[in-house]
Amino acid sequence: MKSRPQTAQTAAGNRSADVPWNGIVLDLVLFAWAGVLAFTAPWIRAHLQRIFNWVWLLHALTFYSVMLGFVLAAPPPPKKFRLNRVVVFVLVAGLISIFAPIWMFATPLAGGGSFIGLFWNTAAMIASSIIVCLIVLGKYHSRRITTTERIIQFIFPILYLAVSELLLYDTARSGGIGVGFVLRGMSLSYIPFRLLMILTPPRSAFEIMTATISLGWFLLILTGVIAW
C-alpha cells in the first residue's frame, strides 16, 4: 500500500508542531517582565508574605507541567515496570525539585518573609515534589493528557518563573544579603527548571537562544548592571 505524498500544508503543520512554542512564549514574557521589575517594588512589599506563602503551589504545578511534557514525549514504556532512562530522569528531576526551595532562604534572610512561612513552604514543596513524581510516572504508563493539563503546561511555568524573578529581584534589592547568595539560589531552582523545559522535546536551537537572552537580560537587571 503506497503512502500519500506529504503536502506543503502537512509539512508546515509538522514543522509548527516541532517548535517549542511554550518555551519561546515564556522567554518573551519573562524578557518583558524583567524590564518592569523595578516599577513593582511598592506592590511587592505590600503583598510579599502572601506571594511567598503560595510559591510552593506554583512550584508543584510547574514541576508537574515540565515533567509531564517530558514523559509524554518519551517512547512508550515497557509493559513490565523497570528502571529505564525516563524513570531515572524523573527521579533525578524530583531530587532537584526537592532541593530547589534553597533559594527561598534568601527572602526571610533579607527581612521579607517569616521563617515559619519558609518552613511550611519547604515542607509543602518536598511533599508535593514526591507526589508529582508518582503522578508523572503514572502518566508515563497511561499516556493520557487532559485539556486542563495542557493549560497547566502553558500557564504555570510562566507564573512560577515570573514570581521567582519578583522575589529574587526584591531580595537582591533589600540590602539584607548580597546578590551572590541570590545568584546561588537561582542555580538550584530557577535555572534547572528552565533547563528541564529546554531538554523536553520538541527541542530547538531557537529556544536555547531565546532562553539565553531572557536569562541574560534578567541577570543584568538583577545585578544592577542595567538600572532604570
Query: According to the model, what pLDDT value does residue 175 have?
Result: 67
Q: What is the pLDDT of residues 4-47, one digit of tens each?
A: 554 544 444 445 556 778 889 999 999 999 999 888 877 877 77
pLDDT at 171: 78
Sign of CA dihedral 136, 142, 143, 149: negative
Residue 2 confidence (pLDDT) above 60: no
Global pTM exceeds 0.85? no
As a whole number, mean pLDDT of residues 134-158 equals 83
Residue 157 has pLDDT above 60, yes or no: yes
Question: What is the average per-residue pLDDT within 60-73?
Answer: 82
Q: Rounded mean pLDDT of 151-176?
A: 83
| C-alpha–C-alpha distance, residues 204 and 115, integer Å | 40
**Residue 63: Cβ-neighbour burial (10 angstroms; 0-12, 13-18, 19+):** buried
What the block records as the C-alpha cell of 219 is 541577570
Q: Look at residue 77 in the predicted model and tell me its pLDDT.
A: 72
Please check whether residue 182 is in contact with residue 166, taking contact to mean a CB–CB distance below 8 angstroms: no
Cell, residue 140: 508515563
The residue ranking higher by pLDDT, 220 or 103, is 220
pLDDT at position 132:
86
pLDDT of residue 210: 94
Q: Of 82-86, 105-109, 203-207, which range is least confident?
A: 105-109
The arithmetic mean of pLDDT across residues 168-196, rounded, is 78
Q: Determine whether 40 is exposed, middle or buried from the number of CB atoms within 10 Å of its CB (0-12, 13-18, 19+).
A: middle
- The confidence score (pLDDT) of residue 223 equals 86
Compute the mean pLDDT over every residue in the chain, rounded to the nearest whole number. 78
Closest CA to 194 of 1, 16, 29: 29
**Residue 3 pLDDT > 60:** no
Report the distance separating Cα 159 and Cα 226, nearest Å: 24
Residue 191's pLDDT band, with cuts at 50, 70 and 90, is confident
Does residue 228 carry a pLDDT above 70? no
**What are the CA-CA distances from residue 26 to residues 30, 117, 153, 161, 162 (Å)?**
6, 28, 11, 9, 9
Q: Percentage of the chain surpassing pLDDT 90? A: 11
The string of pLDDT tens digits covering residues 214-226 is 999 999 998 888 7
In this prediction, residue 60 carries a pLDDT of 84
Tell me which residue has cell 518552613: 119
